[in-house]
Amino acid sequence: MTKVLYEQQCRKYANLELDPIKFKNMIENANPQLKGFFNYMVNTIVPKERSAHNQNEAKKSIVGLCYLIAGLRNKFVNQHKLEVGLYLMASGATWESIDTISSLRYSACAKTVEEYRKKTQKEHIIKIEKYFIENKNILHIYNIDDYHSIHEIRQPNTVSTSLAKHFATCVAKPINEFPSVPLVFNGISIHNPLNVEASRICWYLINYYTGRFDFSYLQKHSIINQSYRIEMLTIHDYNDNIIERKKERSMKGLQLVGFEEQYLHSVFDYINALKIILSINNRTQHLRGFVAPVVADWSGQLFIRKALRIQTLNSPQEINSFLPILGPLHVSLNSREQVMLIYHSFFERLFHFVFGKNKKLAKKPRPWRINLLLELAKCGWLKIKDQVIKKFGKVCKDIEYQTAIDLLDNLIPAVIDIYATLFRSGLFEEYVETIFRIWTFALRWKRKNYNKAPLVFLSDLFYWKDNDHPFFNALQKHLSCFNDYYVENTHSKIRANTSPNATVDNIIKQAYVIMNHDSIFKDTYCKTRHYPYNIPTLDFLSNKTSLFLLQYFRDLYHNLEKTTLGEEVDLRRLPTGYSTSCPPITGLCDRCKLPFVNEDGIIFICGHGYHTNCYNKKCIYCEEFYKRGIFENVNSFLKRIEKGADILTQEDFDDDENNIEEGEEQSEEVEIQEISNRLEIEIHQIENW
Ligand SMILES: [Zn+2]
Ligand SMILES: [Zn+2]
């Protein structure tokens, strides 16, 4: 067997084979005398009464044992030992402890491991240059993001921020079937000479999206089926070890362009990060005359735009290639968090009803819990929606009722779908429209930064479209590749494969090992975890949420006409109409100010209501509100680009602190009860409220 494994490693340069069945076949095929050997080992060592799962796990350790035996007989059969050594080194084991394990022959010695890591880092630069020379004609999507070495959850305070080491990560994802896009096409540059154009966005609002946002998201978009429900719920968990996410293939072909110690807090930091790409380009010339889209968070978009304006680099030609683009994952994460924050009291009641009175809902729950609560609210609502809306009638302008409808039928489904469904399915038209819609939310929430970032994206997009720039086509055809997931997944891998107290040098070496080295060892032996809830549990929870919503609407129904606005009403919670210069008037048509007769009229999702004949394709008050919002925010963004701070302000910081998903918050134990009958009955009862 030693001979077989030696041949595999040193003559055929094959990778480790850790799959028990493939391993058995491999040694038996290479040498028929070994037929039965592996099974003999298994039968001798693994007790038969073990469960099928445990037996299979034990077989994997027998594979490890075979490599160990071979390594004892021949020190050149050391692949498996090297893997153990790399793993120990990544986990922060000391050289001494690695050498001790090495004396047991379980691991390679520390020096060998370290040399391997050095070699990997050194060869990486050659490899990446070769890659870009060979693939210079293919469009690549870049991600640049900040990685910091904080492992556990901490309040961002001065102490932890200064202790953390900061790195700039740059990755590139090829779109294999798509050629590089020229910067200038038919005399039209990828960069709009007017930068961001409020008037162009307004033209689209008025002529293309006429009245679209007067209707709820669910009224305008059909519900896309939920076959990947658990996968959807883990959308902001960038870790690989969740079973439900294992199938994500999108990391295929991803290149680590560079990983360096570098803050990303100012325009000059970003220029340094861009130099990682430019220094490769110096030898490969793959950027020359072509677009290099950089999908980034808020600070990335802001500072790369500033850098483009300043063009302080030595090679002003090349920096023009960079095109900052709105990151869909960040839009999704931020808008979900914002819904949770603004409607916290609602979600707290829902949470207590579904999970128990004594449970505590954090002010800012972890992303996975936000996803769960939003998803439950959505599913719970869909089951009762038609009957509830029928009960309240067509012209109910009650402010609390309209607020609830806006939340359940508009905000929640839009922020759930934007990334998980629309973006990843490449539904381009729907995605663009919903980005616009989410911007209208951010506008009324007065959400700093996110009331500007989507506008910048829309302005660029409409400019390319109107001018037939081929980049529009790239975006339309391959939307789902313009993702910021790649860098988040990379960070998640680095975090999972480094120890909390690792040195800068250690983290950098480890990053190159992770991105260049087959992760078969960890994939085989690492414990995977499951999403805490299975489908029957989720069904039970969403039925329970339906019961909560029924109770909620029944109370609203009995208090109709009685609701008076409290002293301090948070305008951000109310439908958009209440933020306009003409807030909805109770019981009357907002156009002619006359009452509704025989339910002749429509109440829109903005809270405004019109007689059928008074509504002419759009809510005039809300359109005015959006138009003003577009001009104000575009102007303020342009000012920031031209004159504003070159470093991150406190406001920017708040936005980028929250893009990391780490650790776990305890999930609740759920005991399933049979409640679907009760739900049926209660839905029938709606008529009798
Ligand atoms: Zn009217
Ligand atoms: Zn309106």
Identify the pLDDT of residue 551: 96
Residue 160 confidence (pLDDT): 47
Residue 648 Cα to ligand 2 middle (Å): 36
pLDDT at 570: 87
Q: How many helices (H) and strands (E) does the chain have?
A: 29, 9
pLDDT at 423: 92
Tokens of 252: 């295929």
Q: What is the pLDDT of residue 157?
A: 44
Ligand 1 centroid – CA 600 distance (Å) = 9
Alpha helices, H only, 177-233: 198-207, 217-220, 229-233
Cα of 628 vs centre of ligand 2, distance in Å, is: 14
Share of the chain above pLDDT 90, in %: 64
Question: Among 142-151, 216-225, 341-350, which stretch is predicted with the lowest mean pLDDT?
Answer: 216-225
Q: What is the pLDDT of residue 659?
A: 44
Beta-carbon contacts of 515 under 8 Å, excluding residues fewer than 6 positions away, are 124, 254, 256, 490
DSSP structure class, residue 15: P
Rounded Cα distance between 322 and 338, Å, is: 30
d(CA 266, CA 272): 10
570 CB burial (10 A radius; 0-12, 13-18, 19+) = exposed
State the DSSP code for 614.
T
496: tokens are: 């999972």
Find where tokens 């090992």 sit: 513
- What is the chain's length? 689
Confidence of residue 326 (pLDDT cuts 50, 70, 90): very high
pLDDT score of 249 = 53
C-beta atoms surrounding 348 within 10 Å: 15
Q: How do residues 380-432 score in pLDDT, each as one tens digit?
A: 999 999 999 999 999 999 999 999 999 999 999 999 999 988 998 889 999 99
3 state DSSP class of 185: strand
Query: pLDDT value at position 148?
Result: 86
pLDDT digits (tens, 9 = 90+) for 627-666: 999 999 999 999 999 887 777 776 666 554 444 444 456 7
Least confident of 7-11, 175-179, 485-489: 7-11
CA distance 398 to 193: 47
* CB under 8 A, 24+ apart: contacts of 148-153: 149/498, 149/500, 149/502, 149/507, 150/662, 151/495, 151/500, 151/662, 152/500, 152/662, 152/663, 153/662, 153/663
Instruction: Determine the distance separating the centroid of ligand 1 and the alpha carbon of 392, expressed in angstroms.
Output: 20
Distance CA 596, CA 590 (A): 10
Q: Inform me whether the pLDDT recorded for 244 exceeds 60.
A: no
Which two structure tokens, joined as six digits, stand for 210? Answer: 């006429």
- Alpha-carbon gap, residue 490 to 347, rounded angstroms: 32
What are the boundaries of each domain within the chain? Answer: 2-116
Question: Which residues does 472 contact at the CB level (< 8 Å), separation at least 6?
Answer: 461, 464, 465
Q: Which pLDDT does position 55 carry in this prediction?
A: 86
Q: Which ligand is nearest to the CA of 444?
A: 2
What distance in angstroms lies between residue 638's CA and the mean position of ligand 1's atoms? Answer: 40
Q: What span, in angstroms and rounded, lies between the C-alpha atoms of 428 and 475?
A: 8
Confidence of residue 668 (pLDDT cuts 50, 70, 90): confident
Summarised one tens digit per residue, pLDDT across range 494-550 is: 988 888 888 899 899 999 998 888 878 887 888 777 888 888 999 999 999 999 999
CB atoms within 10 A of CB 169: 26
What predicted TM-score, i.e. pTM, was given to this entire model?
A: 0.91
d(CA 517, CA 525): 16
The answer, yes or no, to whether residue 223 has pLDDT greater than 90, is no
- Terminal alpha carbon distance of the chain: 77
Question: What's the sign of the alpha-carbon dihedral 613, 615, 616, 620?
Answer: positive
Instruction: Give SS3 for 574.
Output: coil
For ligand 1, the distance from its centroid to the CA atom of residue 629, given in whole angstroms, is 26
Spatial separation of the C-alpha atoms in residues 99 and 89, rounded to whole Å:
11
Residues at Cβ < 5 Å from ligand 1 ion: 589, 591-592, 611, 614
Report the pLDDT averaged over residues 187-204.
Answer: 96
Q: Which ligand is nearest to the CA of 594?
A: 1
Whether the CB-CB separation of 659 and 333 falls below 8 Å is answered with: yes
- Closest ligand by atom to 215 CA: 2
Please state, in angstroms and as integers, the Cα–Cα distance from residue 241 to each residue in 117, 495, 667, following that order. 24, 12, 17
Pairing of strands 188-189, 292-296: unpaired
**Helix (H), strand (E) at residue 665:** none
What is the identity of the amino acid at 214? Answer: D
Question: What's the token pair of residue 604?
Answer: 């829109």
What single-letter amino acid sits at 30? A
Q: What is the pLDDT of residue 648?
A: 76
State residue 221's pLDDT score.
Answer: 83
- Mean per-residue pLDDT of the chain: 88
Distance, CA 505 to ligand 2 centroid (Å)?
Answer: 57
Question: Quick one: which of 72, 88, 53 has its CA closest to 510?
Answer: 88
How many angstroms separate the alpha carbon of residue 615 from the centre of ligand 1? 8
pLDDT, average across residues 151-155: 50
Query: What is the pairing mode between strands 255-261 and 166-179?
Result: antiparallel
Compare 208 and 71 and report the one with higher pLDDT: 208
Contacts with 555 (C-beta within 8 Å, 6 or more apart), sequence order: none
Residue 158 has pLDDT above 50, yes or no: no
Tell me the Ramachandran region of residue 263: left when phi exceeds 0, alpha when psi lies from -120 to 50, beta otherwise.
beta
Ligand in closest contact with the CA of 211: 2
Give the Å distance between the CA of 247 and the centre of ligand 2. 43
**How big is the CA angle at 622 (ends 616 and 627), to the nearest 5 degrees?**
110
Q: What is the pLDDT of residues 425-470, one digit of tens each?
A: 889 999 999 999 999 999 999 998 999 999 999 999 999 999 999 9
Helix (H, G, I), strand (E, B) or coil at 673: coil
As a whole number of angstroms, the distance between CA 518 and CA 306 comes to 38
Question: Residue 529 has what pLDDT?
Answer: 78
d(CA 76, CA 432): 57
At residue 413, the pLDDT reads 96
